[in-house]
Structure 1
Amino acid sequence: MSLPDRYHPAVSAALSSIDVTALRHVFFVACGGSLSIMHPAKFMFDQHASLPSDVFNAAEFVARQPKRLGPDTLVILCSMTGTTRETTAAAKFAREKGAVTIGLTVDPDSPLGAAVDHPVKFEAPYTTGVPIDAKDSNYSIIYQIVMGLVAASGGEDLTGVLIESLSGLQAVIDRAQETYAPLWDRYAEHFAKQDVIYTMASGASYGAAYSFAICVLMEMQWINSQAIHSNEFFHGPFEVLDETRCFVLMKGIDSTRALDERAEAFLHRFGRAENILVLDAAELDLAGIDPRFQGNVVPLIFFDTLWRFIYKVADHRQQVMLDGRRYMKKLTDY
């Protein structure tokens, strides 16, 4: 099959060289923030593909040694810098088992790039400070891989619709920044005083909640956090809720929205509005995004816009972001 001209060239090259019809399983493998994009990727894959798939932390992927892994499997990996040791080890392990590997990274010449069959470059502003177009982000690239796999394996070919939507995504994010700006002004100073902030989401957006909890609140602001699935909230975690506890709820518009709505109602029933920051995707202007993919792009919008919020929080806390980390990128012996 031929992919649209605007598809990422490395994605097109990788998919054209893979016998997708021979695949029997797909693994999404990474760590930390890179792992967080694997959850919405699997969500999209589950929506459109008949192939089974799994999401694994890279180190556990190697330790668990799935029996399903073999020549008829594809392993999609991601590491922003390409230097994550566990992810590079997972790529080598997968290739030893005969699997085909695709690795997403900002540096195709990195250890991960060298370890996989098909390195694919993406852009990331978080470590460089240089703004990017969202169509060049890791979310965009992995969605292109997913829908390319769907089309090549006999599913509906929505690659043209997808790439058209991704091309207009940056304008949607820019409008979302304006939509959410009043929330940042309303909540930043109060949230900056907190020692604990929970995040919550479901469906496509759960990965964004996970990443914001562990890679932003905990890693960059030393605020205790936990990403809670909107339905799992009712199976234990809701016991921490009182009028002092703070939550960030990412309320999506995919098929799991009802789960978020239920969680929101409970938060407001027993919590205080000043402690509950709700990002509701239904309030966004998503013009330019095909309705079939609006729910899928929402987590990228949430995560991108929340960076502006966390910088406001950091200013109130008088704590820098990336440079303030104590261990990350400063130790090599762990």
Structure 2
Amino acid sequence: MFNFDRDRYKRIQGGAVACRDSINQAIEEITARGFTNLFLIGSGGAGILMSPAEYVLRTHSTLPVYREIAAEFVTMDHKHLNERSLVVLASLSGTTQETVEAAQYCKDRGAATISFTGKAGTPLARLTDYSIVNFAEDDTSCESFFIQFYLLAFRIMYNRGEFPDYDRLVAEWERLPEALLDVKERTEERAKAFAERYRNEDYHMMVGSGNTWGEAYYYAMCILEEMQWIKTRPVHASDFFHGALELIEKDMSLILLKGEDETRPLMDRVERFAKSYTDELTVFDTADYELAGISPAYRKYVSPIVAAALLERVSCHLEHVRNHPLTTRRYYRRVQY
């Protein structure tokens, strides 16, 4: 694969799976103390990547869960945050100002806190009661964060008697890094072709739903917009009928990110419509991949992780053919904001 280190990737994603024990210890201790609701807090991409964990909790658990943007959270006086809350905060660098401020805000109010970062000893890690660390960088952070947030969510539900299959699922996820490598290899030529075809495209619309919606939103905003400066509109499949479809023309680039959860029919509906009205339809479907070692019943959970793995290959080829490194910025962390 072009510009790709297999061993590095396996090490990072295997590290994410290996965070299971430290996550479990934190959850066991906080459960013994008792908590009545859960907050998932981050800024930008790190916050968006909590979306699948939020989705699985809302569809499998009765525990109240709130996913909030850090900057807004500290200004809104959330009435459900108290000393009986569990707050999970994420920042790859561990230095994101708004997230660090949110951690201090929650600490001051007596909530239990867990941080997820890519580096130890960062301001965010030092502020929280528990710190989960797995080294990752932008090209590997999506899968790493997805895996860790899922492990946290599944453990919480297991402790509540809401996910009895926890042990079996986690055992299968030991094979996930290898399965994700296969996804990347099978996507390589298609990713290269996509990058060549759309190297000069100045606008995309990207659609997702269910637990893959977060990845669609993340990829549109944090990769295509932030890292490639391409105007992109993320649209939830449920909302596609309400406005977005009126913008579809024959030369309109529409990217569908199809997962395998219960919302898949919503994506099928968008796809049926799009085939009749645009010649520039791209469908990335997680059902096209084998995922050796992952049971059919658990495939729906890994859809966003698979989507992140395959889209990284698209990103790699896009930056190459567009001569626009993914690290290039005009404003982000370059100027005062």
Structure 2 counterpart of 1:94: 106
Does residue 34 (structure 1) correspond to residue 46 (structure 2)? The answer is yes
May I ask how many residue pairs the two structures share in their alignment? 321
Measured in 1, the distance between the counterparts of 2:141 and 2:259 equals 24
Structure 1 counterpart of 2:243: 236
Q: How many angstroms does 1:155 deviate by?
A: 2.1
Mark the runs of 5 or more structure 2 residues left unpaired by the alignment.
1-16
Aligned CA RMSD, in angstroms, stands at: 2.0
The answer to whether the Cα contact below 8 Å between 1:147 and 1:158 also exists between their aligned partners in 2 is no
Measured in 2, the distance between the counterparts of 1:123 and 1:166 equals 19
Does residue 51 (structure 1) correspond to residue 63 (structure 2)? The answer is yes
Which residue of 319, 328, 334 maps to 1:330? 334
Does residue 152 (structure 1) correspond to residue 159 (structure 2)? The answer is yes
The answer to whether the Cα contact below 8 Å between 1:21 and 1:152 also exists between their aligned partners in 2 is no
Structure 1 counterpart of 2:259: 252
Q: How many angstroms does 1:242 deviate by?
A: 0.6
Q: 1:171 to 1:161 in 2, by over 3 A?
A: same
Structure 2 counterpart of 1:9: 21
1:326 is paired with a residue of what secondary structure?
Answer: coil
Q: 1:182 to 1:6 in 2, by over 3 A?
A: closer
The answer to whether the Cα contact below 8 Å between 1:24 and 1:73 also exists between their aligned partners in 2 is yes
Structure 2 counterpart of 1:306: 311
Mark the runs of 5 or more structure 1 residues left unpaired by the alignment.
none
Identity in percent: 29
Q: 1:64 to 1:261 in 2, by over 3 A?
A: same
Q: How many angstroms does 1:224 deviate by?
A: 0.6
Measured in 2, the distance between the counterparts of 1:262 and 1:29 equals 32
Structure 2 counterpart of 1:79: 91
TM-score (ref. length: structure 2): 0.90
One-letter amino acid matched to 1:290: S
Which residue of 196, 219, 223 maps to 2:230? 223
Which residue of 101, 106, 119 maps to 2:118? 106
1:149-185 CA distance string (max 9 Å, x none): 1111232333312322321111221221233234223
Q: 1:235 to 1:28 in 2, by over 3 A?
A: same
1:102-145 CA distance string (max 9 Å, x none): 11001231111011111111232426xxx7996xx111111111
Measured in 2, the distance between the counterparts of 1:202 and 1:133 equals 17
One-letter amino acid matched to 2:294: I
Structure 2 counterpart of 1:66: 78
One-letter amino acid matched to 1:154: G
The answer to whether the Cα contact below 8 Å between 2:37 and 2:85 also exists between their aligned partners in 1 is yes
Which residue of 200, 203, 210 maps to 1:193? 200
1:29-75 CA distance string (max 9 Å, x none): 11111112111011111232221211111111111121011112111
Measured in 1, the distance between the counterparts of 2:250 and 2:33 equals 54
Q: 1:6 to 1:222 in 2, by over 3 A?
A: closer
